Amino acid sequence: MSKLADSLPVGVLAGALRFAFGLPTPVRRLITGKPVVLDGQRLHPDAQLLLRLQQLSGQDWDTTSPAQNRAALAQSNALVCGPVVEGVGVRPVRVPRDGGEIAGRVYEPVGLAPDSALLVFYHGGGWVSGDLDSHDNLCRFLALEAGVRVLAVDYRLAPEHPFPAAVDDVMVAFEWAVEHAADLRIDPARIALGGDSAGGNLAAVTALRAARSGGPSPVFLLLLYPAVDASSKRRSRELFGNGFFLTDAKMDWFRDHYAPEEASWVDERLSVLLAEDLGVLPPTYIAVAGFDPLRDEGEAFADKLAAAGVPVVLRRHEGLFHGFANVLGLGGIYREAVSEAVGSLRTGLALANARQDLPETA
């Protein structure tokens, strides 16, 4: 029998999902069952309901090929991203690179003054899936709520383009943004980098490479449940590696498609947590989810940044699972979590601007 998620139009499924979230609390409890408590954390009722509905629909994201995985992620995002965020203009850009171009999109809140800050955003999807469309609404939301321009980067995906193709693309995109600040109508001294999951990995790696180069560097990092260590498995992968959207097996699948050579798993361009000079990174906000296999490595990264003297804010959303930033359409706890990240971005950029205005000391 075909999965329910494959037999109904996405619009119908999205409507049914919104209907379920509007049901009275007692009815929702009948659907979800008893509360899930693990590692001293309770799964938020909204997160538990979404996971239960995913299970009932047969949409388990358990795929066998990159093409199937990309299609499944696109369908999943269409269900939960919500109506298009209004008040944001969008235009395509093309970033030249050796042998081709990198597609991108610039998001600009209507009426935003020139010389604004810029957030260069790298989407998640395990380096295998995700694109400009999968994170379109999230980028719109970040631009509008933070009052910044956002450059989304459509870097090359594996396995067609394995490691380090994505690393090279995102670095080129950052350097292009600095060089084309006037065209982008942004202040080149106020560029932040951000990303979710694999995109968070690429943002941190790019910031480190930029700092090491001695050239322009980002002034802030916004990392949402980043993947920062492909070389080892921590306790959170054992605790939350099954039943909470992103699985331990899926993480191995992503890594093996992106970096098939085991020797590359300790490369700092993949496992940025292993780098010894993290103290050169800018102020950083890291959000992790309590029920996420990636939780512990994200927190280890925050600890190492703090030990290196980097101003860092670590936020664990105990009741949520991996991928919550794309669930804007269901509002509630999901939108609150992203809004908190936006607040940190605004603060980080304001502090960077204040430092820029300070008089030089002898």
Catalytically active residues are 197, 292, 322
Contacts of 63 (CB under 8 A, 6+ apart): 69, 72
* Contact between 314 and 302 (Cβ < 8 Å): yes
* Contact between 189 and 195 (Cβ < 8 Å): no
CB-based burial label for 268 (10 Å; 0-12, 13-18, 19+): middle
Helices 136-146 & 332-357, crossing angle to 10 degrees? Answer: 50
Contacts of 79 (CB under 8 A, 6+ apart): 10, 13, 14, 17, 329
The rounded distance, in Å, linking the Cα atoms of 115 and 118 is 9
Residues present in the chain in total: 362
What does each C-alpha distance from 26 to 39, 45, 51, 54, 318 come to in angstroms?
26, 11, 17, 19, 23
The rounded distance, in Å, linking the Cα atoms of 129 and 159 is 10
Strand residues in 169-322 grouped as ranges (E): 186-196, 220-224, 284-291, 312-321
Structure tokens at 290: 């309590």
* Contact between 315 and 347 (Cβ < 8 Å): no
Give me the amino acid identity at 122: Y
Give the DSSP letter of residue 282.
P
Give me the amino acid identity at 118: L
Helices 25-32 & 10-21, crossing angle to 10 degrees? Answer: 120
